[in-house]
Amino acid sequence: MTTIDLPLLSNKRECGTCTKCCEGWLAADIRGYPMFPGKPCFFVEQGVGCKDYENRPKSPCQNFDCSWIKIPGMPEEFKPEFSNVIISEKDLKGMKVISVNKAPDNPSPQLLSWIINYVLLNRGNIVWMVDDKTYFFGSQEFCEEMKKSKHVKG
């Protein structure tokens, strides 16, 4: 019989040395400094953290919603600094969406399987990319909205 070790729900996860959300895999503007794929945040010291942490802006920095930190039981190996994938929750016209972003790798089959099962169990919505193709799954309203999107290639 196989056993699965899950982290204790009382353990509070922290970023630690993970700086993936600041390394330029996501697009944002931080106090007038653009960040986008290929251009990390002006304030990040990769593998260490924010050089101006105490003064980081509420949006996007303090409000960033790393799903590895928030979702109980998500495996340790899915932490962005280990998986090279950023999983975050976003809002799309009032619908909660889990977004899986390359950082710089495509999500592994194990990561996608785990997060899709999580979304199915919680009746959520998910969008992810593999190479340059976008995939999505969720409610009918969410899927219709995604099909209208100019950013969806799939």
Would the pLDDT of 9 be above 60? no
- Is 80 in the same domain as 140? yes
- Hey, is 111 helix, strand or coil? helix
Distances (CA, A) of 99 to 9, 55, 67, 85, 88: 23, 27, 9, 10, 5
Q: Which residues contact 84 (CB under 8 A, 6 or more apart)?
A: 20, 102, 103, 104, 105
- Domain membership of residue 30 (yes or no) is yes
Give the percent of the chain with pLDDT over 90: 81
- The answer on 121 and 93 residing in a single domain is yes
pTM: 0.85
Distances (CA, A) of 111 to 27, 31, 51: 22, 33, 31
Domain region containing 100: 65-154
Instruction: Please check whether residues 71 and 116 belong to one and the same domain.
Output: yes
Q: Could you give the number of structural domains in the chain? A: 2
Average pLDDT rounded to a whole number, residues 125-147: 93
48-65 residue pLDDT tens: 999 999 999 999 999 998
